[in-house]
Structure 1
Amino acid sequence: MSRIIAGAAGGTPLSAVPGSLTRPTTDRVKEALFSRLDAFDVIAGARVLDLYAGSGSLGVESGSRGAQAVELVESDAKASAVCQRNADLLNGVLGRKAVTVHRSKVEPFLDRATPGDTWDLVFLDPPYPLEETALSAVLSKLAAHLAPSAVVVVERSSRSPEPEWPEALTRFAEKKYGETRLWFAEPYVPDAIDRDDISAVEEAETAGP
């Protein structure tokens, strides 16, 4: 059973999407991912967007660890209902509405976003069959709504090619965990210094999961 790993609701079990509608991120991968995000110092106070949210596990984990506001976007009715149960669970623990659920397809959701809608941390865990061109289109729409120091995390099969990043995004790291590969990107800024201590984080992870 999936759970919230750390933070205000650490150890709390999460509801799972029934059947094989989604491909949940394993606790092993989630723990490694959030260790890296903690090293980047991008969670506390962040505005988080969890696209193709499934059960909402990644977004809810962020909320438990101190994100200011979390939005879960999921189009499937059953999965969206699970997102809502998990959001209600965390909101109850925190005593405030930190997590909001949107039942919507990803591209229309981004099309409706206003110029003032920006996020500091974004998760994309699309279905593996999603074509690379479709993922690239989503990343292009997303790029206009990122804070300057935002981090974008794309989860794909380890057999999938690297995402086709739009010009507005730059990949700065990637990590493979068995059948899962995580890609990390940030807004492209000409002549910007690379995110600090990436190599140190990579070295530290060699002893991890």
Structure 2
Amino acid sequence: MRIIGGEKGGLRFQPPANMPHTRPTTDIAKGGLFNIIENNLDLPSLKTLDIFGGTGSISYELNSRGVEDLTIVEKDNEMAAFIQKTAKELNVPLKLFKMDVFQYLKQCTEKYNFIFAGPPYALTTIDQLPILVFEKELLEPEGWFVLEHTPRNNYKSYPYYRDERNYGTTIFSIFINRPELKK
């Protein structure tokens, strides 16, 4: 895998060979997502949360583009250890919570400007993620929540839904914390 843009663009990292619960975001989808983010958000000013951290790839990309306030939640011990090791090697400052994402969200008292969720596609409770993020008021005003999912999920009727971008079997639904989008 590699960081595709920013000051660390081109740096490579090798995730564990066996990642049964992890599905890294493809470079094409990641490139499309970051094109949207970079054109709409002031990245260096963001406080970010990456839930279902997996390899940590999204946070490495954010850092490569100037984000310094990074938090990752990943419950798998091997992947959490990989994130910690790779972040150190790539000089990416981050806070890592090794715990269940839903448990983290329910007890979280922090507010973020950008939350990314790349859950396993087979997660049966995926539809609860946008609801929980907004019920717990985890986003600052104008903050973004981006949920990666497959075409079988549809969030267009959800409160705060703004847009989606489709990259084949990968879709990013974008929610923005604006009162007029609450519906």
TM above 0.5, yes or no, is: yes
**Is 1:139 aligned with 2:143?**
no
Q: Larger Rg: 1 or 2?
A: 1
Q: Counterpart in 1 of 2:85?
A: 85
CA gap 1:67/1:152 in 2 versus in 1, 3 angstroms:
same
1:136/1:166 contact within 8 Å kept: no
- Where does structure 2 lack aligned partners over 5 or more consecutive residues? none
Q: Counterpart in 1 of 2:154?
A: 162
Structure 1: distance between partners of 2:27 and 2:127? 27
Written as runs of structure 1 = structure 2, the 5 A alignment for 1:1-209 is 2-21=1-20, 22-91=22-91, 98-114=93-109, 117-131=110-124, 134-143=125-134, 144-158=137-151, 160-163=152-155, 167=159, 170-190=160-180
TM-aligned CA deviation for residue 91 of structure 1: 2.5
2:46/2:113 contact within 8 Å kept: yes
Which residue identity is paired with 2:112? Answer: W
Structure 1: distance between partners of 2:181 and 2:8? 40
RMSD: 2.0
TM-aligned CA deviation for residue 100 of structure 1: 1.7
1:123/1:154 contact within 8 Å kept: yes
TM-aligned CA deviation for residue 8 of structure 1: 2.6
Structure 1: distance between partners of 2:64 and 2:181? 35
2:155/2:161 contact within 8 Å kept: no
Q: Show CA shifts across 1:150-171 (max 9, x none).
A: 111111123x22138764xx11
1:75/1:103 contact within 8 Å kept: yes
- Identity of paired residues, percent? 27
User: Number of matched residues?
Assistant: 179
Q: TM-score, normalised by structure 1?
A: 0.78
- Where does structure 1 lack aligned partners over 5 or more consecutive residues? 93-97, 193-209
Partner SS state of residue 23, structure 1: coil
2:162/2:181 contact within 8 Å kept: no
Structure 1: distance between partners of 2:143 and 2:14? 29
